[in-house]
Amino acid sequence: MADRKFTPAEAAQRKHDRKRLWIQAGFAALFNGYAAGFAKGKIFTGPAKGVCVPVLNCYSCPGALGACPIGSLQAVAGGKGRSVSFYILGVLMLFGLVFGRLLCGFACPFGWIQDLLSRIPVRRKKVPERIDRPARKLKYVALAAVLVLPAAVSAIKGSAASPYFCKYLCPAGTLEGGIPLLLANANLRAMAGALFTWKALVLAACLAGALFIPRCFCRYLCPLGAFYSLFNRFALYRLTLDRSSCIGCGKCEEVCPMAVRVTQELECSGECIRCGKCKAVCPAGAIENKKIF
Amino acid sequence: MEEKRTLQLRIVVLAVAAAFLAIGLLRGEFSDVLAKAMRICLECIGIG
């Protein structure tokens, strides 16, 4: 059977996708570089673990070298004596200011997993805008819950509160932390019960969702994506559309995994993860990186 | 005009972020995060 011939735009997009997947794999390895942890069923406990990584990466992953910002925000707020973590918020604001959601597109390990799933050839249907647009607001509810709920419950109860997002919703914790630890550690395996079953179902739903709706979790549920989206409009690194060069072919909107209306809202969208697919596929070269400096 | 407002916004966010980071580190939040991250979070992995 003859190989399928790709148009120049398709070939450029495939080349860009491959390059980006390798960069994502590199970041996943960097953030989870403690390989011995996977074999021992234990987590890394060095001082680097106090350093907040700028992506959703569970600190109970056996390989994790740093702290997950969402877990840390809840752990500090839900502990005694503090209602908010200025340290984590400061780190996230700095990263948001410089990169916006570029980190979602290039550095997040769970985003990488979703991108790998979206390469599996299945029939995908576009989510109707009347459902898609309101559903995207769910992630802001998740962010509000992360910022407010542990602190509020802790204040009411007078004792430490759970990290509720991690406990009931975070699929990254189950995939990166729960499954590897349970596979390697019999004591933990014996403790798994109904909560683990629930979290495994949430993970399965997110992975199945990502198969049919690219970046499903990032679009609708990720509180960190919601946080960074607040900075997207004025972040130093941005993509811009030169409207005078745009030929209106719509290829950019066809390939966008976040279903951004590129020709209308690229610069002001909180959803753009700067993955660069639109830039790679644009036959007119109308989309450019806005340089940081 | 738009560029100027964006620049002003960036400067304000940078100042707030730097202040938050400094306050957090001075309050000893790094140790809080380290203490939490050094132990397996049973809730995060779906056990606790």
A232/chain B closest Cα distance in angstroms: 11
Which pLDDT tens digit goes with each residue over A83-138?
Answer: 899 999 999 999 999 999 999 999 999 999 999 999 999 998 889 999 999 999 99
| Cα–Cα nearest to A279, from A7, A101, A15, A67 | A15
Structure tokens at A219: 């679009």
CB B22 within 8 A of CB B16: no
Structure tokens at A227: 């946080």
pLDDT at residue A3, as a whole number? 61
> Rounded to whole angstroms, how far apart are CA atoms A29 and A168?
26
CA of A195: which chain B residue's CA is closest?
A: B46
A231/chain B closest Cα distance in angstroms: 9
Confidence check: pLDDT of A1 > 70: no
Are B45 and A177 within 8 A, CB to CB? yes
Structure tokens at A34: 């403690």
Q: Distances in Å between the alpha carbon of A50 and those of A62, A124, A176, A282?
A: 15, 41, 18, 42
pLDDT confidence bin for A12, thresholds 50/70/90: confident
pLDDT at residue A80, as a whole number? 72
Sorted by sequence, the CB contacts under 8 Å of residue A27 that are 6+ apart come out as: A55, A106, A107, A108, A109, A112
Confidence check: pLDDT of A277 > 80: yes
Q: How many C-beta atoms surround the C-beta of residue A184 within 10 A?
A: 16
Whether the ipTM is more than 0.90: the answer is: yes
* A160 chain-B contacts, CB cut-off 8 A: none
CB A154 within 8 A of CB A77: yes
Structure tokens at A213: 């709706």
pLDDT at residue A78, as a whole number? 86
pLDDT at residue A51, as a whole number? 97
pLDDT at residue A293, as a whole number? 59
B4/chain A closest Cα distance in angstroms: 11
Are B6 and A234 within 8 A, CB to CB? yes
Average pLDDT of span A42-70: 96
Q: Distances in Å between the alpha carbon of A252 and those of A83, A170, A287?
A: 43, 30, 9
Are B33 and A79 within 8 A, CB to CB? no
Are B18 and A94 within 8 A, CB to CB? yes
* B29 chain-A contacts, CB cut-off 8 A: 76, 82, 85-88
Average pLDDT of span B19-25: 97
Which pLDDT tens digit goes with each residue over A210-255?
Answer: 999 999 999 999 999 999 999 999 999 999 999 999 999 999 999 9
Nearest residue, CB atoms, A76 vs list B33, B44, B46 = B33
Are B13 and A47 within 8 A, CB to CB? no
Helix, strand or coil for residue A52?
A: strand
pLDDT at residue A280, as a whole number? 94
Q: What is the DSSP-derived secondary structure letter of residue A48?
A: G
Confidence check: pLDDT of A9 > 90: no
pLDDT confidence bin for A159, thresholds 50/70/90: confident
pLDDT confidence bin for A29, thresholds 50/70/90: very high
Nearest residue, CB atoms, A87 vs list B13, B33, B41 = B33
A4/chain B closest Cα distance in angstroms: 43
Average pLDDT, chain B: 93
Residue type, A55: V
> Rounded to whole angstroms, how far apart are CA atoms B31 and B27?
9
Q: Distances in Å between the alpha carbon of A31 and those of A201, A243, A282?
A: 25, 38, 32
